[in-house]
């Protein structure tokens, strides 16, 4: 009890640390918020460039074959992995959220499995998508197999346009 009092008493180390935490948190949230705002500005442009990342995949990656293509189990596993790792940003039905774009759009549907695998591996760090190479290669292919099995849906007439290549 005595120890606990010493830690929490006014002017104690933990009291000072608490102030530090609150100030540091405020700074971090403000900076990350400002970065997010910058991303939100001109949402149309950002959206376009988000999908444009698909076109950045090198040819070698683009033509890579999905080793699990047509594997029904891979679709089921991919759905589970998608829910665990991707749904937070891309939505449970992959339709997109404020944090991440829809994966049901024509651009994604038309992308090769190799391209999606490349995006998953490298992320789009400047747009907030982290790299997912920490998932083993097989699991990344399982997610790609699930995504390719999902039906492409048009969100708007504009979304029907193919991704710029």
- List interacting residues with another protein (CB under 8 A): 3, 6-8, 12-15, 17-22, 24-25, 28-29, 31-33, 35-36, 40, 73, 76-77, 80-81, 83-85, 87-88, 98-99, 121-123, 125-131, 133-139, 142
- For residues 91 and 108, which CB has a smaller minimum distance to another protein in the complex? 91
CB of 48 to another protein, least distance (A): 19
- Of 34 and 160, the one with the shorter C-beta distance to another protein is 34
Min. distance of Cβ 129 from another protein in angstroms? 6
Minimal distance in Å, beta carbon 27 to another protein?
9
We find the least distance from the C-beta atom of residue 93 to another protein, in angstroms, to be 14
DSSP 161: S
Q: How far apart are CA 6 and CA 120, in angstroms?
A: 49
- Shortest distance in whole angstroms from residue 164 CB to another protein: 19
Q: Which is nearer to another protein, 19 or 160 (CB)?
A: 19
At 16 the three-state DSSP class reads helix
Asked if residue 145 lies in contact with residue 66, where contact means CB atoms within 8 angstroms, the answer is: yes
| Complex with another protein: residue 32 or 158, whichever CB lies closer | 32
CA dihedral sign, ordered 95, 90, 63, 44: positive
Mapped onto helix, strand or coil, the DSSP state of residue 124 is strand
Nearest to 74 by CA among 11, 3, 8, 137: 137
Name every residue whose Cβ is closer than 8 Å to that of residue 121 and which is 6 or more positions away in sequence: 131, 132, 133, 140
Identity of the residue, 77 or 108, whose beta carbon is nearer to another protein in the bound complex = 77
| Phi/psi-derived region of residue 71, left when phi > 0, alpha when psi is between -120 and 50, beta in every other case | beta
């Amino acid at each position: 009890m005595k120890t606990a009092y010493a830690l929490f008493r006014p002017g104690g180390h933990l009291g000072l640390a608490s102030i530090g935490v609150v100030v540091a948190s405020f700074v971090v949230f403000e900076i990350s918020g400002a970065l997010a705002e910058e991303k939100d500005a001109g949402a149309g442009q950002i959206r376009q460039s988000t999908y444009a990342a698909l076109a950045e995949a090198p040819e070698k990656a683009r033509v890579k074959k999905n080793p699990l293509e047509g594997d029904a189990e891979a679709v089921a596993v991919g759905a589970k992995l998608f829910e665990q790792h991707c749904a937070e940003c891309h939505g449970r039905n992959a339709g997109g959220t404020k944090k991440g774009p829809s994966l049901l759009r024509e651009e994604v549907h038309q992308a090769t499995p190799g391209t999606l695998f490349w995006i998953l591996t490298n992320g789009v760090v400047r747009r907030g998508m982290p790299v997912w190479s920490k998932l083993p290669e097989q699991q990344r292919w399982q997610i790609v197999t699930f995504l390719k099995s999902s039906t492409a849906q048009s969100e708007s007439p504009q979304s029907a346009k193919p991704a710029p290549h």
